[in-house]
Amino acid sequence: MKISTLEADLKSRAKAAFSLGDAEVASFALAAPPPHIKADASIAWPIAGAKLLKKPPIKIAEELKGALAGAVEAETVPPGFVNVKFADAFLFAALKDLSEPGCFHRSEYAGEKICLEFVSANPTGPMHLASGRGATLGDSLARIWKELGADVATEFYVNDAGRQVERLGLSLKARLEGKEPPEDGYHGDYLKTLAAELPKEAAGWTDKQFSDYAVAEMVKRHKADMQAFGVHFDRWFMETELHALGAPAQALATLKERGMTYEKENAVWFGSATELESDDKDRVLVKSDGRNTYFLNDIAYHLNKYSRGFNRLIDILGADHHGYVPRMEASVGALGQKGASFKVIIHQQVSLLRGKEVVKMSKRAGDFISLKELIEDVGTDACRFFFASRGPNTHLNFDVELAKKQSNENPVYYVQYVHARIRSIFDNAAAKGVDPAASFDEAKAQINPEERALMLKLLWFEKALTDCARDNSPHHLTTYLTELAALFHSFYDQHKVLDPENKEVTAYRLFLLKAVQGMIAKGLGLLGVSAPERM
């Protein structure tokens, strides 16, 4: 039985005891209490229910305690908390369930078909640190949502058409000719490298051929970066595919049919402000020269996603895209889709620290540290754990020196070491002829405080996952793993695992450590971080 299963049973008892409906007990939940509270879980619902039931919270808590009798051991605490202690048998049963496939599937995710688009870096230069943060965020969330039972498809949208692609081609052509790129072109040294790799016949290419070649090569490098970063995309969706399908024209026609467009100054406009009042101004869809704006193409792309059967679209974008959100929300609504089916997650920038110096980055000038360089310097594991350690709304300072340390100061090393340490314990057990899977009498097991703390933390893994899904951020998982690692070290510093004089205790503790090792591996895996056997 998981905590969520027990929670559902206790919620049902609360409904019956107070004659309430589902909505009235929606906030009923088991929560991990703060460290100073001597309880396994706490219920704050009586405080929230006081207004509804027109009773003092402590009175509701007393009545709830009676309703929960037989399921858990409970006590009331002013002003209206119910603190719960789990039976030892429940702890052992729950730890066994945690290793079962699909253990963390939740009913609310069973019907979810999510299209998760992230990174989508313009193919005009190497991937930078913000791309790495977006990749970590998107890939980790995809893994977490899948673990919770959702059907998730990941996509990288490539803007391989338009003016920026033309500028890229002209910049590459200039480098081949030994000239400086146009003022509004791209000036990074990566184009010098690309120019040096051009075939001999490139001297006679058209401007479009330079653009096509540059985009193809940059996408190839982006794919290599993502592969090195442990990120898989189910589809790399090219903007030119949209045009081949006639999707922009279809999206424009749909908006016109719904009365959401008008013409002014020989251009076609979307009435996101005048018609829907959901934006600060109306937006151009088709320019006066007849060319589509990126906005129209983005609308077409999202309409295409819905047409493929996705019922939830999530875009992960960088900090410079805040203005994108209201206009896209308006367009999704104008297409007839429910607003809740579309979500934009904005992640903040990354500052790279080398010592006390903040490295300044400018993609067009070419003065920046690429994601590839950072991976080569500190490794994928440190990159991904550090990127995941803060919520997307928080600016991230990436300390390179800390990420390279092989000590407990480095949070990813601190967590990975637990996995390797437990592996060595099992190797030691095997060398001594101890059966790591030996059974023990659960009813006779004496659970000490450090062991109980480990058990409870393992049970709250599910809560960490649902927190990540709720907040669209994997940082709850890095926090969880760090706290689990600390509890393991506290236990291991005080207790001997392999006791030749007591086979029952040895078997029990190996069972517990196997569960800890498995949860560390699962948590790291959901972050795209390795769980090493040796360190």
The answer regarding whether domain 411-526 maps to CATH 1.10.730.10 reads: yes
Instruction: Please give the structure tokens belonging to residue 224.
Output: 């290599």
What is the secondary structure of 488-528 as a DSSP string? HHHHHHH--S--TT-HHHHHHHHHHHHHHHHHHHHHHHHTT
**To which CATH superfamily is domain 3-86 assigned?**
Arginyl tRNA synthetase N-terminal domain (3.30.1360.70)
What's the rounded Cα separation, in Å, for the pair 25 and 28? 5
For domain 114-346, give its CATH number from 3.60.20.10, 3.40.50.620, 3.40.50.10440, 3.30.465.10. Answer: 3.40.50.620
| Cis amide prior to 46 (ω within 30 degrees) | no
Give phi and psi for 432, each to the nearest 5.
-95, 5
What's the rounded Cα separation, in Å, for the pair 84 and 86? 7
Q: Is the dihedral of CA 101, 104, 108, 112 positive or negative?
A: negative
Which residues neighbour 217 within 8 Å (Cβ) at sequence distance 6 or greater? Answer: 194, 197
Task: Map out the domains of the chain as residue ranges.
Answer: 3-86, 114-346, 411-526
What's the rounded Cα separation, in Å, for the pair 249 and 294? 13
What's the rounded Cα separation, in Å, for the pair 371 and 16? 56
Per-residue pLDDT of the chain (535 residues; tens, 9 = 90+): 789 999 999 999 999 999 999 999 999 999 999 888 999 999 999 999 999 999 999 999 999 999 999 999 999 999 999 999 999 999 999 999 998 889 999 999 998 999 999 999 999 999 999 999 999 999 999 999 999 999 999 999 999 999 999 999 999 999 999 999 999 999 989 999 999 999 999 999 999 999 999 999 999 999 999 999 999 999 999 999 999 999 999 999 999 999 999 999 999 999 888 767 777 889 999 999 999 999 999 999 999 999 999 999 999 999 988 888 999 999 999 998 988 899 999 999 999 887 677 776 544 444 568 899 999 999 999 999 999 999 999 999 999 999 999 999 999 999 999 999 999 999 999 999 999 999 999 999 999 999 999 999 999 999 999 999 999 999 999 999 999 999 999 999 999 999 988 999 999 999 999 999 999 999 999 999 999 999 9
Indicate the pTM of the whole model: 0.94
* End-to-end CA gap in the chain: 34
